[in-house]
């Protein structure tokens, strides 16, 4: 995602807290193109949902992808980050399956500060066209930048 091979149109979310915090801003290390500050004093870094509970961020890889890891990062401009999340995946935009590890839904630890990128491995790997990250707990509010490790299948 960070390298822009995933287009803005392939990133969607349950909701967005205004245009400054849209889903496409969820790219790892995302910063405003001009690097400047908003008139209200806040930089528009990361995705922030309008409604936190039940929120999700979705990536459509357009073809099946082999996902082996998730990298999460705080919003960066204010102290808002997710502290845990779950994943779901599917091959169409309607049916999603929760990710299980050893028979239970896996809850991943995420960020603990405003700077560090946290890398979590996925084993067994996820093979799917769509993936969703579901924030379960957070500091301040949900604020997220994210990327996925892996490759497109059959390329």
Instruction: Convert the pLDDT of each residue in 2-39 to its tens digit.
Output: 565 788 899 999 988 877 787 888 888 866 655 555 55
As given in the structure block, the two tokens for residue 105 are 């839904």
Choose between 42 and 27: higher pLDDT.
27
Any alpha helices (H) in the chain, and if so which ranges?
Answer: none
Express each pLDDT in 124-139 by its tens digit. 999 999 999 999 999 9
Express each pLDDT in 139-154 by its tens digit. 999 999 999 999 988 7
| Amino acid 115: pLDDT | 86
As given in the structure block, the two tokens for residue 31 are 């910063």
Assess whether pLDDT exceeds 70 at residue 85: yes
Q: What is the mean pLDDT of residues 77-86?
A: 92
SS3 139: strand
CA 113 – CA 98 distance, rounded (Å): 27
- Which domains are assigned to the chain? 8-28+45-152 (2.60.120.260)
| Amino acid 117: pLDDT | 94
Rg from Cα positions in the chain = 15
């Amino acid at each position: 995602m960070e390298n822009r091979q995933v287009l803005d149109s392939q990133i969607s979310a349950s909701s967005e807290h205004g245009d400054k915090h849209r889903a496409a801003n969820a790219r790892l290390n995302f910063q405003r193109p001009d690097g400047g500050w908003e008139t209200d004093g806040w930089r528009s870094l990361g995705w922030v949902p309008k409604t936190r509970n039940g929120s999700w961020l979705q990536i459509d890889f357009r073809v099946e992808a082999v996902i082996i890891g998730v990298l999460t990062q705080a919003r960066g401009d204010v102290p808002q980050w997710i502290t845990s999340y779950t994943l779901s995946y599917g091959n169409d935009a309607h049916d999603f399956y929760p990710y299980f590890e050893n028979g239970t839904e896996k809850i991943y630890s995420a960020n603990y500060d405003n700077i560090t990128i946290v890398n979590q491995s996925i084993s067994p790997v996820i093979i799917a066209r769509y993936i969703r990250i579901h924030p379960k707990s957070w500091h301040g509010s949900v604020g997220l930048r994210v990327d996925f490790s892996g490759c497109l299948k059959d390329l």
